[in-house]
Chains A and B, each alone.
Chain A
């Protein structure tokens, strides 16, 4: 392993199911701080399932394996505890929360990170919020709009990145953050993500289009199929997948399996 266990997000032989249906079938991945990894894979491969399991969605059952954040297992923790430990998930389908404004939502999330009895400083909060909104070209009047309600696909995605920028996680999983974005929005969102890159954050970027990886250039690319990582490589792998599709990787993997 390249990074010490204390500064990686480590997924170890993870098996998980929904109801009786197994979806993750022995998935392992190691994302050290400072790196950006991409997971690519067809629809239905289990990418969103992986993301939601890491975040602690109650619908999924982990049957074996572990997820360690900086060496600490997070599987027994409530979603909010994981988030406060530094894990962030940008949702593929962000929820609409009627009547809860973006400003109040993000403030509640930041407030939850403060020690009991300490109040978030309102002026500083708004200054920071507006600066991040400007950078992501989110109109300032969005602060008083309900979270994601009536937003376009692109607005929702930008709003996810806005939350990430405000919460400053140590590990971020971005699930199809590029879907539904036109090229201009894609550039804005990518710039927003790139601005957050650095030695103190590890990122896992989930996508099924290579296009995103032109803008968010990954350190490693993994191919996911049927609940497993079946191939890993560098950023060139994404281009090859774009040109040749997934069949060759799946075939290689199947051949390797049958050879065992």
Chain B
């Protein structure tokens, strides 16, 4: 059964998505022989499929799904994506940063382009399935290795079960990659499903900047369950940006895990420009002393878009810092949900943990829900958290208009500035300028 938008069926009546529900996503009976994955991983995928079918669909009273539109996560009429029609056209359309040192392009879960010439010799940027075959230990150690804790266990299991390929980046000890690596994930097809995956492993002292770009080939209703795992060895530096630009009809999951070892710094930004329902889960583990995780998100929501974000800042080690800053602007009848937990485990004394969510309300019909949370088991910690909602400040608007800027444009500039303060946190001018241009385009500036 599928539900149309106007259906009156209550949430409880949605059938469990099981072997009967998601036939379009079930493993093909003839799959195994031609698979690029090693045998052990295929078995793993079998198990994941069972997990997926066993776990029940989230219900309204499930805490991790509070306020979420559960109709949006009924996946029963999605299919596995077939090959794209014109890969060359998508490669041409994959125009992002002016200066990159490597690029990978995936379309409907097939790699259609790879250019890794600009990378230092010993850096690996290869398809995930190749990594599983050729670097089994490394892959096993880092691939989806931690528990899914923010609600999407079932969808994460589906991801694992249906994973076809993805990007695997391994940067050896003390290797610094200067320019960004850009990875594109395209989806094409009405009801098509894809499972993008970026796995980044930085060894001790390594440094890299990676941009994932999520794009629809056409204005189609598709499903994406994307995973990124960021594994930072001691004293490493990672800047990761996800630019989500799906069509306005897409149901998308973006599930992140970040593990940060001693004195390493992860700065991760998720920008959500598209999608109909977008579920973001971001789980940071501060594992090493002095580690740091900066968690950023920029969400200009409009239309009927729903952006549903759940976060976890889990401090295991002393003197670590986590710093979350999410900015949402809500136009039309868009919705945002934010639920974030800061947890300071017993050993994590002298923790600095910050969490700030700001909702800029641009319409009376829009709705922002914020649920910040705090659990502190250690002494001597500094934690602040808070969520604010407000409209465009009238005095700021007047000030700009008094300079001759028309009201509408003044408001757009204020919104642009509101997001600009998040981009500044990347501390990377080149990236900031590029992402700023994308924002300008999104906000019609």
Where the two chains meet, the residues of A that have a C-beta atom closer than 8 Å to any C-beta of B are: 55-58, 78-80, 82-84, 88-89, 91, 94-101, 104-106, 108-109, 112-113, 146, 163, 167
Contact = CB atoms under 8 A, between A and B. Distances in A.
18 contacts: A58-B398, A82-B402, A94-B399, A96-B396, A97-B399, A98-B417, A98-B421, A99-B417, A99-B424, A100-B416, A100-B417, A105-B413, A108-B403, A108-B405, A112-B409, A146-B420, A163-B403, A167-B404
Contact of A112 (B393, B398, B405, B416): B405
Contact of A79 (B402, B417, B418, B420): B402
Q: Which 9 A-B pairs have the closest CB atoms?
A: A99-B417, A99-B420, A100-B417, A83-B404, A79-B401, A109-B403, A95-B399, A99-B421, A80-B401
A97 B396 contact: yes
Nearest to A86: B404
Nearest to B423: A99
Contacts of B406: 78, 80, 112
Contacts of B402: 55-56, 79-80, 82-83, 88-89, 91
Contacts of B409: 108, 112
Contacts of B420: 98-101, 146
B88 interface: no
A167 B403 contact: yes
Nearest to A163: B403
B405 A80 contact: yes
Contacts of B401: 56, 78-80, 83
A99 B416 contact: yes
A224 to B, nearest CB: 21
A82 B398 CA distance: 12
A97 B400 contact: yes
Contact of A146 (B395, B417, B419): B417
Contacts of B404: 80, 83-84, 109, 112-113, 167
A146 B420 CA distance: 10
Of B396, B400, B410, B418, most A-chain CB atoms within 10 Å: B400
Contacts of B416: 99-100
A97 to B, nearest CB: 5
B419 A99 contact: yes
A99 B399 CA distance: 15
Contacts of B424: 99
A225 to B, nearest CB: 26
Interface of B: 393-396, 398-407, 409-410, 413-414, 416-421, 424
Nearest to A109: B403
B362 to A, nearest CB: 16
A101 B394 CA distance: 19
A109 B403 CA distance: 6
Given A99-B416, A100-B416, A109-B400, 7 more contacts: A56-B398, A80-B403, A97-B414, A99-B424, A105-B413, A146-B420, A146-B421
A79 B400 CA distance: 9
Question: Which secondary structure characterizes the binding site on chain A?
Answer: mixed
Contacts of A55: 398, 402
B292 to A, nearest CB: 23
Nearest to A93: B395
B407 A98 contact: no
A163 B399 CA distance: 12
A80 B413 contact: no
Contacts of B413: 97, 100, 104-105, 108
Contacts of B400: 97, 105, 108-109
A99 B418 contact: yes
A95 B396 contact: yes
B428 to A, nearest CB: 14
Contacts of B398: 55-58, 79, 95
Contacts of A58: 394, 398
A163 B410 CA distance: 16
A100 B421 CA distance: 9
A80 B407 contact: yes
A125 to B, nearest CB: 15
B403 A105 contact: yes
B327 to A, nearest CB: 9
Nearest to B396: A95
A113 B403 CA distance: 10
A104 B405 CA distance: 12
Nearest to A80: B401
A44 B309 CA distance: 48
A105 to B, nearest CB: 7
Contacts of B403: 80, 83, 105-106, 108-109, 163, 167
Nearest to A110: B404
A109 B404 CA distance: 5
B111 to A, nearest CB: 37
A112 B402 CA distance: 12
A115 to B, nearest CB: 14
B173 to A, nearest CB: 36
B407 A78 contact: yes
Of A57, A94, A99, A105, most B-chain CB atoms within 10 Å: A99
A105 B413 CA distance: 8
A89 B403 CA distance: 8
A54 to B, nearest CB: 10
A222 to B, nearest CB: 22
A98 B399 CA distance: 13
Contacts of B407: 78, 80
Contacts of A78: 401, 406-407
Contacts of B393: 95
A117 to B, nearest CB: 15
A78 B410 CA distance: 13
A99 B418 CA distance: 6
A163 B418 CA distance: 22
Contacts of A105: 400, 403, 413
Contact of B418 (A91, A96, A98, A104): A98
Given A57-B398, A79-B398, A97-B399, A109 B405 contact: yes
A113 B410 CA distance: 14
Contacts of A96: 396
Nearest to B419: A99
A100 B409 CA distance: 12
Nearest to B421: A99
Contacts of A167: 403-404
A89 B399 CA distance: 9
